Amino acid sequence: MEMQEVEETPLVSLNHVSFVCRSVTRSVKFYEEVLGFASIKRPSSFNFHGAWLFNYGIGIHLLQCNSEEGMPKKKAVINPKEDHISFQCSNMQALKRKLERTGVEYVTAVVEEGSVQVRQLFFHDPDGHMIEICNCEDLPVLPLSSCPVKLKLPSPMPPPPAADPSSLISSTISFNADEESPNARCAVKAEAVILENLFADTMPISF
């Protein structure tokens, strides 16, 4: 049986999310003061009102609504099961204190998977768009299909300075079953699942 070569999808990362808002000025203030985004220049060819913000490797694009009729009704209840964007957070308590200082209402949730405990904060932006803050990165990424998965790996530490440039040895990352870091264990598990599913997908079936 001839194996077909799988063409890799040439995607790199999430670039931005876009929201229509009632007031661009108010929403910019929210994303800057509450979530730490910075306003950046938009293309000068745009002939409609909006704003671009950027931080943490992702952009937030805001567009002024043309009519209140096209805007969703503001939600009185925070429902974590609704559509939302999620940000990884290194200090959930600090973010919770910031939400309280700025008067942003939120709800919390906890997800458990084996020994991993994921804490979540959910709240709305000024137009009712749901935002989640979590430590979901602690969950291992275990693919259920043979589609290639690009795992986010830590950048290798730069080699120490040396008098002789030729003595510098490029740093590499290797993963094995004895590695202690969560990313390493995740990579090992992911590789095993990918190989197992790839074998299942390509194995001839007879009855």
Which tokens sit at 9? 């999808």
- Tell me, rounded to whole angstroms, the distance of Cα 67 from its chain centroid: 31
The pLDDT assigned to 137 comes to: 84
Q: Cα(105)–Cα(99) distance, rounded to whole angstroms? A: 7
Residue 165's pLDDT band (boundaries 50, 70, 90)? very low
Phi-psi category of residue 70: left, alpha or beta, with phi > 0 → left and psi -120 to 50 → alpha:
alpha
Q: Cα(145)–Cα(168) distance, rounded to whole angstroms? A: 40
Q: Mean pLDDT score of the chain, rounded to an integer?
A: 78
Q: Cα(118)–Cα(81) distance, rounded to whole angstroms? A: 16
List the single range of 9-23, 112-126, 187-201 with lowest mean pLDDT. 187-201
Domain boundaries, the chain: 15-66, 75-137, 140-155+173-207
- Tokens 């194995």 correspond to 203
CATH superfamily of 15-66: 2,3-Dihydroxybiphenyl 1,2-Dioxygenase, domain 1 (3.10.180.10)
- Of 188, 103, 182, the closest CA to residue 136 belongs to 182
Residues identified as active-site:
132
Is pLDDT of 35 > 80? yes
Domain formed by 75-137, architecture: Roll (3.10)
Q: Cα(77)–Cα(5) distance, rounded to whole angstroms? A: 49
Q: Cα(65)–Cα(34) distance, rounded to whole angstroms? A: 22
Task: State the pTM of this model.
Answer: 0.68
